[in-house]
Amino acid sequence: MIEIDAISKAYGDVTVVDNVSMTIEAGSITVIVGTSGSGKTTLLRMINRLVEPTSGSIRIDGEDNGAIAPHELRRRIGYAIQGHGLFPHRTVADNIATVPKLLGWPQDRIDARVEELLNLFQLDPASFGPRFPHELSGGQSQRVGVARALAAEPNLLLMDEPFGALDPVIRAKAQDDLLAIQKHFGTTIILVTHDMEEAFGLADRIAVMDGGRLLQYATPSEMLASPATDFVASLIGTAERPFRLLALNPVERAVEPGAAEGKPISADASQRDALAELLWSGRPALPVTGKDGAVAGRVTVDGLLKQARPA
């Protein structure tokens, strides 16, 4: 659990993070959104003390992060830097191996970990491992940057716009992988993004920042139902609201009794996917299959439309 307590950062007269407090549950994904220059990176960097706060404190699992030697704190926290920040004089494999080496892992464990991570991010270890960063595309560099942050299996992962340079297909894959890793290891993730789709897709809670202040910190559905300010509402996108809401909930919650023709949809697919399928195929209803594969009922356009508004 991370407790951010009335933290502020000022450069001279300019306060770039202004009295922010929030509590982040262990094993959850928190996504920070906000305009450029709103203080997202600064807030993130105060957690691993790359930026020292002007006032306030941050506790990680009850321990004040100011009490831990900075380099030890940072070895425990994975940090995917905005841009990627790879070491230009080290190969991809050596870049990924950085933290395990600092922690003194045995070489064979490091090698195995590097290979595992490269495979995970769809980078062929034989081809990419020996390359230097200047021989990578922007998206490849970014994946290597994330792999480096994950290398030592940290409990806490700070990610600053980690998927910005990825194409939609690889980005979706990287997001799924991140969710899988997070589920598997119970990693606490704090992620900054400009992509609201990504924010709603990944977040357990979303933090909206503007001008250094935390405008709202809530679950995605709470934020859709009652945005704290007009700015939050406009950031979510007024026209997107029903679809974001549908995307958040599974088909399961809209199942009605009855039968339907054609290809069924799984109960844990998102309601948005179900609506898209209904609209595109022109069918009035889809059969829904449960976890056991048996048909559990059907989902209709009318039923879904009722779900597309906050209750």
Partner 1 sequence: MRFGLNRIDRVGVVVALIAAYGLVAPFALFRANRIVQGEGRSLLSALPPSLGVILLAFSVIAIVMALLRLPLFVKLLTSLVMLAMLAFAIGSAAGFLTPEGNNYARVSPGSGFWLLGAAFALLATDCLARLRPPPWGRIAILTATVAAITFVLTSGLWDGLSIIKEYFSRADTFWLEAGRHVTLALGSLAVAAVVGIPLGILCHRVEPVRSAILNLLNIVQTIPSIALFGILIGPLSWVATNVPGAADLGIRGVGMAPAFVALFLYSLLPMVANTVGGLAGVPAEANDAARGVGMTDRQRLAQVELPLAFPVILTGIRIVLVQNIGLATIAALIGGGGFGVFVFQGLGQTAMDLVLLGAVPTVTMAFAAAVILDAIVELVAPANAGRKEATA
Q: Is 37 in the site for ligand ATP (CB under 6 A)?
A: yes
Residue 260 as a binder of partner 1 (CB under 8 A): the answer is no
Q: Is 41 in the site for ligand ATP (CB under 6 A)?
A: yes
Least Å from the CB of residue 109 to ligand ATP: 35
What is the sign, positive or negative, of the torsion defined by CA atoms of 48, 153, 84, 194? negative
Out of Mg ion, ligand ATP, partner 1, none, what residue 38 binds, judged by CB under 5 to 8 A for its kind, is ligand ATP
DSSP bridge pairs for 156:
77, 188
142 part of the interface to ligand ATP, by CB under 6 A: no
Whether the CA torsion 232, 233, 236, 237 is positive or negative: it is: negative
Q: How far is the CB of 82 from Mg ion (least distance, A)?
A: 5
Burial 161-183 (b: 16+ CB within 10 A, else e): bbbbbbeeebbebbbebbeebbe
Binding-site string for ligand ATP from residue 76 to residue 95, where x marks contact by CB under 6 A and - marks none: ------x-------------
Tokens 């209904």 belong to 278
Interface region with partner 1, contact rule CB under 8 A, candidates 3-11, 20-28, 83-91, 116-124: 83-91
Closer Cβ to ligand ATP, 24 or 209, answer by number: 209
Binding of partner 1 by 86 (CB under 8 A): yes
Of the pair 102, 276, the CB lying nearest partner 1 is at 102
Residue of minimal CB distance from Mg ion? 41
The dihedral formed by the CA atoms of 173, 176, 180 and 183, expressed in degrees to the nearest 10: 160
Determine if 138 is a binding residue for ligand ATP (CB under 6 A): no
Q: Is 38 a binder of ligand ATP (CB under 6 A)?
A: yes
User: Binding to ligand ATP by residue 13, rule CB under 6 A?
Assistant: no
How far is residue 34's CA from residue 213's CA, in Å, rounded to a whole number? 10
- The SS3 assignment for 188 reads strand
Q: How far apart are CA 34 and CA 1, in angstroms?
A: 23
Give the Cα separation of 48 and 162 in Å (integer): 17
Among 2, 7, 16, 286, binds ligand ATP (CB under 6 A): 16
- Collapsing DSSP to helix, strand or coil, 258 comes out as coil
Q: How far apart are CA 53 and CA 17, in angstroms?
A: 9
What is the contact mask toward partner 1 in residues 148 to 187, using x (rule: CB under 8 A)? x---------------------------------------
Asked if 148 and 110 count as a contact pair (C-beta separation under 8 A), the reply is no
Q: Is 48 among the residues that bind ligand ATP (CB under 6 A)?
A: no
Q: Tell me: does residue 128 bind partner 1 (CB under 8 A).
A: no
- State how far the alpha carbon of 64 is from the alpha carbons of 6, 30, 41, 48, 190, in Å: 13, 20, 20, 11, 18
Given the complex with ligand ATP, which of 209 and 304 has the nearer CB atom? 209
Among 22, 50, 233, 301, binds partner 1 (CB under 8 A): 50
Q: Which residues contact partner 1 (rule: CB under 8 A)?
A: 48, 50, 70-76, 79, 81, 83-89, 98-99, 102, 132-135, 148
